Amino acid sequence: MSAILEVRDLHTQFSTLDGVVRAVDGVSFEVAKGETLGIVGESGCGKSVTAMSILRLIPPETGRIAKGSIKFEGEELTVLSEEEMKRLRGHRISMIFQEPMTSLNPVLTVGTQIAENVVRHMGVPWKAARERAFEMLDLVRIADARRRLDEYPHQLSGGMRQRVMIAMALSCDPQVLIADEPTTALDVTIQAQILDLMVELKEKTGTAIVLITHDLGVVAETTERVVVMYAGRKVEEAPVETLFAEPLHPYTRGLMRAIPRLDVEADAAGTRPRLQEIPGLVPILTKPIVGCAFAPRCGFATDRCRTEAPPLVDVGSGHTVACWEIERVRAST
């Protein structure tokens, strides 16, 4: 596996009135060429901050990458100047966000916005860039793309705006596309179309995708490998089929049992199995976490879990888990 993006022991912290928030607390992963990696977790687990760290979009007034390395095509990103990062962003690494309306300029036509990016990074004449913008809108299957070039973001529906964002993000043939909750704000039928489009375009262009989401359904449908985060740490990583067939971290298991399922049948009386709750709350990230971050909510926790942080253990076939009690978890149903 040739890694195009390598994140090693990333620590990203924010200074707040309540103290230092350890939003990302020692996370490592790799993304291979042309691969789709999912990063999944609940609010505050550090998944978005990880993405922002890769692109160096952490606001310098409050946050900083305290430790760790981010290598893109072998080049260390954490030491690059802002100017050098600007040449990278939107070109070799690009990003799409949850709410396209906040990322699009309301006073420029979508054609202009896509072409602008192409001119800046590819150094081609304006006319060629406009043509590229048309090709991209056509690629993301916006009907009547020629006419849409001259429309403003407010004239488009939510699904179309997200298509425009994807078109813009892919306009300079990036090696990596980071998508942070790209379909969360969209309706179900539109979400399905956008996910299908992303999978199809990835196959066509070979761009690696880092898909950040809280939605296990989206992860199952689109990714090849998954990183599960909890309280700023990676607790489990596995190929997507393995993760869903045999999740080994108690948190991952908890998540999977907590979601209502469309694909699980109700019994004859029509009653459905009670959802399994994960008791308690996520830890406060301003206080140092001793031991396993999930221990206070975990049914398997022992004294060791509460005092010593479990290392990531390789259990084979690219499946790693940070848990002291893997064998007991595996044996339980």
Partner 1 sequence: MSDAPVLKVEGLVKHFPIHGGFLQRQVGAVRAVDGVSFSIRRGETLGLVGESGCGKSTIGKVVLKLIEPTAGSIALAGEDITHLKPGAMWAHRRRIQTIFQDPYSSMNPRLPSGTIVGEPLENFGIATGAARDERVAQLFRRVGLRPEAMRKYAHEFSGGQRQRLGIAKALSVNPDVIVADEPVSALDVSVQAQVLNLLIDLQEEFRLAYLFISHDLAVMRHISHRIAVMYLGRIVEITDKRTLFARQLHPYTEALLSAATAPDPKRRRLRKRIVQGDVPSPAKPPPGCHFHTRCPYAIAECKVTAPPLIEVAEGHHVACLRRPVGGDPGPLSIPG
**Binding positions for partner 1, rule: CB under 8 A:** 42-43, 157-160, 187-193, 195-196, 214-222, 240-241, 244, 254-256, 258-263, 266, 270, 272, 274-278, 281
**Residue 282 Cβ vs partner 1, minimum distance, rounded to whole Å:** 8
DSSP letters for 215-280: -HHHHHHH-SEEEEEETTEEEEEEEHHHHHH---SHHHHHHHHHS--SSS---TTS--PPPPP--S
Q: Smallest distance, Å, CB 228 to partner 1? A: 12
CB of 172 or CB of 323, closer to partner 1: 323
- What is the DSSP code string of 45-109? SSHHHHHHHHTT-S-TTTEEEEEEEEEETTEESTT--HHHHHHHBTTTEEEE-S-HHHHS-TTS-
Smallest distance from partner 1 to CB 128, Å: 31
CA 57/CA 50 separation, integer angstroms = 10
Provide the minimum distance between the beta carbon of 104 and partner 1 in the complex, in angstroms, as a whole number: 17
State which residue, 79 or 143, has the beta carbon closest to partner 1. Answer: 143
Q: Indicate the residue among 311 and 318 with the shorter CB distance to partner 1.
A: 318
**What is d(CA 227, CA 284) in angstroms, rounded to the nearest whole number?**
21
Neighbours of 213 (CB within 10 A): 23
Q: Are 206 and 237 in contact (CB under 8 A)?
A: no
Query: Whose Cβ is closer to partner 1: residue 107's or residue 188's?
Result: 188
Please state the closest distance from residue 173 (CB atom) to partner 1, in A. 26
Buried residues in 155-187 as b, exposed as e (16+ CB within 10 A)? ebeebbbbbbbbbbbbbbebbbbbbbbbbebbe
CB of 130 to partner 1, least distance (A): 25
The smaller minimum CB distance to partner 1, of residues 79 and 281, is found at 281
CB of 280 to partner 1, least distance (A): 9
Q: Which is nearer to partner 1, 16 or 307 (CB)?
A: 16
- Residues whose CB falls within 8 Å of the CB of residue 231, separated by 6 or more in sequence, listed in order: 25, 44, 45, 46, 282, 283, 285, 289, 293, 294
Q: How far is the CB of 210 from partner 1 (least distance, A)?
A: 18
Neighbours of 131 (CB within 10 A): 15
Closer to partner 1 by CB, 94 or 222: give it: 222
Query: Which residue, 131 or 224, has its beta carbon nearer to partner 1?
Result: 224
